[in-house]
């Protein structure tokens, strides 16, 4: 009882953020083991956007990084996303934390210090919105060198994957028809669920082919849609979502190894592999382009200059750049589509306004007792305006 009381006080009565430690030097392996309420303990210089998005999606309560989260080489996006999500970030605590903190230990984070109960196990720099903003200003000085490296990587990627990018060789065949249809690609980027909700009218009107990428597939399913195509690592996608998808495409390494394929086989779901060094988002876009989509609308897919330079796209940055060149004018951001759809006045609204005006006219004529001649004129006017409105808004 005394030990139980001590643990209770240690875990709940002391100040700070408390969670169960999940420890791994490799961020990719760590992300697969995270659960809501965990504290992620990793060793990653320059936390990238993709890692941060995965940490936020896993609902961790804190992040402890053995290395600097912003090294100053370039303005990486991960730390900013974590702080915006309200997740404490303590970095540069040293690699010994990976040895001293055992997986499953209950940790407490407070003012840049990592505690196990009341015992200090590591100390580092707790990041804030202000400290990240200052570091990002300094990091912009490193963008020139990153641009040079990006150019070299692009040339190397094109040398390896030119048949795929230029001619579509290697894109898997699908049963879902895409030719001359619009395709909506939903990836797990920031605010992608909000963006998807804004496109409800667009989806209802145009019935695009729905492609879910990684956690974007779960977002589609949770919103009440059946994904036509799912592209991504099955280990990071819900079972119900995988079973609901009409087709599943599993990205594979260039040597043919496809992570997550065993899970697909265990679930008894048919899938095809897509060997490439590109990321899942780019593979989804290449699939849509190769199968003749007339327009590709993206949700949660960001590809500004900062995203290109972000280390999370390392090795696949060139694929992102070249893929967008390949699709050209077919590629449209979902935010733009939602904005244009909201600004358009629907035919139904116009028709209701015309109907209300005509009914008011008919009522006035009937009350005045002028006669049926004016009623016929009003009806003819209503028909004329209705035909004109249909021609204008069709």
Residue 298 contacts residue 332 (beta carbons within 8 Å) = yes
Query: Does residue 8 sit in the same domain as residue 69?
Result: yes
Per-residue pLDDT of 317-352, as tens digits, reads 667 777 887 888 899 888 888 887 665 555 555 556
Per the domain annotation, does 73 fall within a domain?
Answer: yes
DSSP structural state of residue 165: H
Asked if residue 65 lies in contact with residue 43, where contact means CB atoms within 8 angstroms, the answer is: yes
Same-domain check for residues 74 and 182: no
d(CA 363, CA 344): 31
Are 329 and 381 found together in one domain? no
Same domain, 181 and 266: yes
How large is the average pLDDT for residues 217-228?
94
Would you say residue 311 lies in a domain? yes
Same domain? 175 vs 64: no
Residues 76 and 215 placed together within one structural domain of the fold: no
Q: What is the pLDDT of residue 74?
A: 73
Q: Is the pLDDT of residue 42 over 90?
A: yes
Q: Which DSSP string corresponds to 176-196?
A: S--TTSEEEEE---TTHHHHH
Q: Is residue 93 part of a domain?
A: yes
Q: Specify whether 365 is located in the same domain as 222.
A: no
CB 234 within 8 A of CB 242: yes
Pairing of strands 209-213, 113-116: unpaired
Closest CA to 17 of 108, 129, 133, 138: 108
Percent of the chain with pLDDT over 70: 74
pLDDT tens digits, 169-180: 888 999 999 999
Which residues does 301 contact at the CB level (< 8 Å), separation at least 6? Answer: 185, 187, 189, 213, 281, 285, 333
- Say whether pTM exceeds 0.85: no
Looking at residue 378, what is its pLDDT? Answer: 52
Other beta carbons within 10 angstroms of residue 243's beta carbon come to 12
Tell me, yes or no, whether 153 and 122 share the same domain: no
Q: How much is the mean pLDDT over the chain?
A: 80
* From 36-50, 130-144, 225-239, 280-294, the region with the lowest mean pLDDT: 130-144
Burial class (CB in 10 A: 0-12, 13-18, 19+), 72: middle
Indicate whether 44 and 160 sit together in one domain.
no
Confidence of residue 312 (pLDDT cuts 50, 70, 90): very low
Q: Quick one: pLDDT at residue 90?
A: 95
Q: Which of 153-162, 203-212, 263-272, 278-287 has the highest mean pLDDT?
A: 203-212
Q: Are 236 and 279 in contact (CB under 8 A)?
A: no
Mean pLDDT computed over 42-46: 90
pLDDT computed for residue 1 by the predictor: 34
User: How many domains, the chain?
Assistant: 3
Q: Which residue has the higher pLDDT, 163 or 71?
A: 71
Domain that holds residue 324: 142-342
pLDDT above 90 (res 311): no
Q: Are strands 209-213 and 182-186 parallel, antiparallel or unpaired?
A: parallel
The pLDDT confidence band at residue 255, using thresholds 50, 70 and 90, is low
- The mean pLDDT of 72-77, rounded to a whole number, is 78
One domain, residues 359 and 214: no
Do residues 222 and 338 share a domain?
Answer: yes
Residues 280 and 378 grouped into a single domain: no
| Cβ-based neighbours of 99, under 8 Å, separated by 6 or more | none
Q: In what order do the strands lie in the sheet with 272-275?
A: 272-275, 247-252, 229-231, 209-213, 182-186, 295-299, 331-333
> Is residue 132 situated within a structural domain?
no
Residue-level pLDDT at 110: 93
134 within a domain of the structure (yes/no): no
Starting at the edge strand found earlier in the chain, the sheet holding 62-65 runs: 119-123, 113-116, 106-110, 17-23, 38-42, 62-65, 89-91, 125-126
């Amino acid at each position: 009882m005394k030990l139980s009381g001590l643990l209770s006080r240690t875990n709940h009565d002391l100040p700070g953020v408390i969670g169960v430690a999940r420890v791994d030097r490799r961020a990719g392996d760590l992300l697969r083991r995270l659960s809501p309420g965990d504290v992620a303990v990793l060793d990653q210089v320059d936390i990238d956007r993709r890692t941060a998005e995965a940490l936020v999606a896993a609902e961790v309560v804190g992040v402890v990084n053995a290395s600097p989260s912003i090294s100053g080489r370039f303005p990486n996006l991960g730390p900013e996303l974590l702080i915006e999500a309200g997740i404490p970030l303590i970095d540069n605590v040293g690699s010994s934390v990976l040895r001293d903190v055992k997986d499953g230990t209950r940790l407490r984070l407070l003012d840049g210090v990592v505690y196990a109960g009341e015992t200090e196990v590591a100390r580092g720099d707790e990041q804030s919105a202000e400290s990240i903003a200052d570091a990002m200003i300094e990091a912009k000085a490193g963008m020139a060198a990153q641009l040079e490296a990006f150019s070299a990587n692009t040339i190397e990627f094109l040398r390896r994957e030119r048949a795929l990018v230029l001619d579509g060789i290697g894109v898997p065949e699908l049963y879902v028809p895409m030719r001359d249809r619009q395709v909506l690609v939903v990836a797990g980027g920031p605010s992608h669920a909000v963006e998807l909700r804004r496109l409800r009218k667009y989806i209802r009107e145009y019935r695009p082919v729905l492609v879910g990428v990684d956690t974007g597939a779960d977002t589609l399913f949770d919103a009440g849609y059946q994904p036509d195509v799912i592209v991504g690592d099955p280990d990071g996608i819900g079972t119900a979502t995988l079973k609901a998808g009409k087709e599943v495409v599993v990205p594979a390494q260039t040597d043919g190894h496809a992570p997550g394929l065993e899970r697909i086989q265990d679930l008894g779901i048919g899938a095809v592999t897509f060997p490439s060094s590109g990321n899942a988002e780019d593979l989804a876009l290449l699939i849509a382009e190769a199968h003749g989509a007339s327009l590709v609308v993206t949700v949660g897919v960001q590809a500004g200059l900062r995203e290109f330079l972000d280390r999370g796209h390392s090795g696949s940055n060139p694929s992102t750049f070249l893929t967008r060149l390949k699709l050209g004018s077919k590629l449209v951001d979902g935010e733009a589509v939602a904005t244009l759809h909201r600004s358009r006045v629907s035919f139904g609204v116009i028709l209701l306004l015309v109907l209300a005006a005509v009914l008011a006219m008919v009522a006035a004529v009937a009350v005045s007792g002028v006669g049926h001649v004016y009623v016929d004129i009003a009806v003819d006017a209503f028909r004329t305006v209705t035909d004109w409105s249909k021609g204008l808004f069709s």
